[in-house]
Structure 1
Amino acid sequence: MTLIKSISGIRGTIGGRVGDNLTPLDVVKFSAAYGQWIKTQRNKDNYKVVVGRDARISGKMVQSLVMQTLSGMGIHVVDLELSTTPTVEMAVTLEHADGGIILTASHNPKQWNALKLLNKHGEFLNAEEGEQILKFVEEENFEFSEVDDLGKITYHNAYIDLHIEEVLKLDLVEVERIKDAKFKVVVDAVNSTGGISIPPLLDMLGVEVVKLYCEPNGNFPHNPEPLAKHLTELSQKVKDEQADFGIAVDPDVDRLALVDEKGNMFGEEYTLVSIADYVLSRKKGSTVSNLSSSRALRDVTQKHGCTYHASAVGEVNVVAKMKEVNAVIGGEGNGGVIYPELHYGRDSLVGVALFLSLLEEKQMKVSELRQTYTSYFMAKEKIELTPTLDVDSLLNQIQEKYKGEDMTTIDGVKIDFEHNWVHLRKSNTEPIVRIYTEAKSQEEADALAQRFIFELKELTNS
Structure 2
Amino acid sequence: MTLIKSISGIRGTVGGAQGDNLTPLDVVKFTTAYVRLRAEANPGKKLTIVVGRDARISGRMVESLVEGTLLGCGADVVNVGLCTTPGVELAVTHYGADGGIIITASHNPRQWNALKLLDEKGEFLSDAQGKRVLALAEEEDYLFPEVDALGRVLARESYNDEHIRQVLALPLVDAEAVRRRRFRVVVDAVNSVGGTVIPQLLRALGCEVVELNCEPTGEFAHNPEPLPENLTQIAEAIVREKADLGVVVDPDVDRLALVSEDGSMFVEEYTLVAVADYVLSLTPGDTVSNLSSSRALRDVTQRYGRAYAAAAVGEVNVVAKMKETGAVIGGEGNGGVIYPELHYGRDALVGVALFLSHLARRGGTMTELRRTYPAYFASKNKIALTPAIDTDKVLREIAARYAGERVDTTDGVKIDFPENWVHLRKSNTEPIIRVYTEAHTMEEAEALARRFMSEIGAICGL
Alignment partner, residue 348 of structure 2: 348
Alignment partner, residue 225 of structure 1: 225
Overall identity of the aligned pairs, in %:
62
Alpha-carbon distance in 2 for matches of 1:417, 1:253 = 34
Deviation, 1:358, is 0.3
Confirm or deny: 8 A CA contact 2:272 2:335 kept in the other structure: yes
Deviations 1:281-325 (A, max 9, x none): 000101000000000000000001110000000000000000000
Alignment partner, residue 208 of structure 1: 208
Counterparts of 1:79-158 in structure 2 under 5 Å? 79-158=79-158
Deviation, 1:428, is 2.7
Alpha-carbon distance in 1 for matches of 2:96, 2:428 = 31
Q: State the secondary structure of the residue aligned to 1:433.
A: strand
Counterparts of 1:280-299 in structure 2 under 5 Å? 280-299=280-299
Alpha-carbon distance in 1 for matches of 2:346, 2:143 = 34
Q: State the secondary structure of the residue aligned to 1:197.
A: helix
Alpha-carbon distance in 2 for matches of 1:121, 1:45 = 17
Partner AA of 1:385 in structure 2: L
Deviations 1:200-222 (A, max 9, x none): 11111111111001110100010
Alignment partner, residue 416 of structure 1: 416
Confirm or deny: 8 A CA contact 1:186 1:243 kept in the other structure: yes
Alignment partner, residue 12 of structure 1: 12
Confirm or deny: 8 A CA contact 2:39 2:45 kept in the other structure: no
Confirm or deny: 8 A CA contact 1:55 1:192 kept in the other structure: yes
Q: State the secondary structure of the residue aligned to 2:138.
A: helix
Alpha-carbon distance in 2 for matches of 1:322, 1:140 = 38
Matched residue count:
462
Alpha-carbon distance in 1 for matches of 2:429, 2:155 = 33
Alignment partner, residue 255 of structure 2: 255
Partner AA of 1:256 in structure 2: L
Partner AA of 1:80 in structure 2: V
Q: State the secondary structure of the residue aligned to 1:423.
A: strand
Confirm or deny: 8 A CA contact 2:380 2:436 kept in the other structure: yes
Alpha-carbon distance in 1 for matches of 2:224, 2:152 = 34
Question: Which consecutive aligned stretches of 4+ in structure 1 deviate over 4 angstroms post-superposition?
Answer: none
Deviation, 1:44, is 3.5
Deviation, 1:177, is 1.4
Deviation, 1:385, is 3.3
Alignment partner, residue 2 of structure 1: 2
Confirm or deny: 8 A CA contact 1:258 1:266 kept in the other structure: yes
Alignment partner, residue 446 of structure 1: 446
Confirm or deny: 8 A CA contact 1:292 1:423 kept in the other structure: yes
Alpha-carbon distance in 2 for matches of 1:430, 1:264 = 34
Alignment partner, residue 163 of structure 1: 163
Alpha-carbon distance in 2 for matches of 1:142, 1:78 = 24
Confirm or deny: 8 A CA contact 1:33 1:142 kept in the other structure: no
Deviation, 1:144, is 1.1
Partner AA of 1:438 in structure 2: E
Alignment partner, residue 305 of structure 1: 305
Aligned CA RMSD, in angstroms, stands at 0.9
Partner AA of 2:228 in structure 1: A
Alignment partner, residue 337 of structure 1: 337
Calculate the TM-score normalised by the size of structure 1.
Answer: 0.99
Alpha-carbon distance in 2 for matches of 1:152, 1:57 = 26
Partner AA of 2:197 in structure 1: S
Alpha-carbon distance in 2 for matches of 1:281, 1:355 = 13
Confirm or deny: 8 A CA contact 1:54 1:192 kept in the other structure: yes
Alpha-carbon distance in 2 for matches of 1:97, 1:431 = 39
Which one is further off, 342-351 or 424-433?
424-433
Alignment partner, residue 178 of structure 2: 178
Deviation, 1:361, is 1.0
Alpha-carbon distance in 2 for matches of 1:122, 1:140 = 28
Alpha-carbon distance in 1 for matches of 2:330, 2:164 = 20
Partner AA of 1:51 in structure 2: V
Alpha-carbon distance in 2 for matches of 1:300, 1:430 = 35
Alignment partner, residue 384 of structure 1: 384
